[in-house]
Structure formats: C-alpha cells, structure tokens
Amino acid sequence: MPDIYIHGAVSAARRVLLDAQAHAAATVIVATFSVALAALAMIGAAFAICL
C-alpha cells in the first residue's frame, strides 16, 4: 500500500512541476513579445518624430 501512495505523490509532484514549467515558459514568451512590441512602438515613435 505505501508504494502506491509514494508513486501517487511522486506523479502528482511531477505534474505540478511540469505545469509550473509550462506556465513559466508562457510567461517568458509573453514578456518577450511585450518587450518586442514596446521596441517597435519606440522605433515607430522615432520615425514619427523624424518625419
């Protein structure tokens, strides 16, 4: 019986870790896109000022 409990706890912990990794990856991707958009906006503003 204890082996089943240990296995269940390990698989649950593994699932939580994978979920956290996926969430962190999504957060990094969103942050990268927002930084890229901010850079594009700054470039666009610079062009507008030059024109």
Residues 6+ apart with CB under 8 A from 43: none
Statement: residue 1 has pLDDT above 70: no
- 4-14 mean pLDDT: 86
Return the half-sphere exposure (C-beta side, CA atoms, 13 A cut-off) of residue 12. Answer: 6
The pLDDT, as a whole number, for residue 38 is 95
Residue type, 19: D
pLDDT digits (tens, 9 = 90+) for 30-47: 999 999 999 999 999 999
DSSP 40: H
Least confident of 2-6, 42-46, 47-51: 2-6
